[in-house]
Amino acid sequence: MTPRDYYEALWESVPEDSLPADFALRRRYLLGHVRAGERVLDVGCGDGRFAAELVRAGAHVVGVDVAARALRRAERIPRAAAVDLRLVAAEEPLPLSDASFDVVWAGEVIEHIVDTAAWLSELRRVLRSQGRLLLTTPAHGRARLLALALSARAFDEHFDPRADHLRFYSRRTLARLLDDLGFHDVQVLSAGGPPLARRLLLARATRSRF
């Protein structure tokens, strides 16, 4: 099975009418950091729901995904017709020009990436000087890991080696990664769930000046 076949099969298993996880929380975070008129790249845009919200907010959006099935769904989402949707290859350089976006949005994508350093380098490459990277990923702080460790069944299900999540981040490890890959003004917040067991990380970082 090729990587594309794998992701096509994943999207086939997602119900047509399902909202992305933590949609309202992630939408609020995203729209709070994007201004009308900005050019935004939605990496792993999926069915286009976040891209459509960006269009509603007045942004100019390019959405890329590795699954054609996801992009076909995106074409049916209201307002997503204004999005420049493109199919890209998994784990390969993005067919996009250097320094061509004000913002890159990657919601729940980084945990699926094999070569994280190369992927983040690509996102940095397409950002303009002082451009902003916004991303979200599941949180794996100590309290969350302890809760999983207390249930053998929950632990096995969460870390099932057949699952599509390849990487697991805490606030500290995600912030360190972004800093190491050439971003600055890195901020990573935890959100959702009870205070000691947040389920989501919200990250913002800036590309250094040229």
Q: Which residues are catalytic?
A: 108
Cβ–Cβ < 8 Å for 193, 199 = yes
Cβ–Cβ < 8 Å for 164, 10 = yes
Dist. CA 109–CA 201, nearest whole Å: 12
Both structure tokens of 18: 């399902």
In sequence order, what are the residues at sequence separation of 6 or more whose Cβ sits closer than 8 angstroms to the Cβ of residue 107?
Answer: 20, 26, 30, 42, 44, 50, 135, 136
Both structure tokens of 75: 């074409």
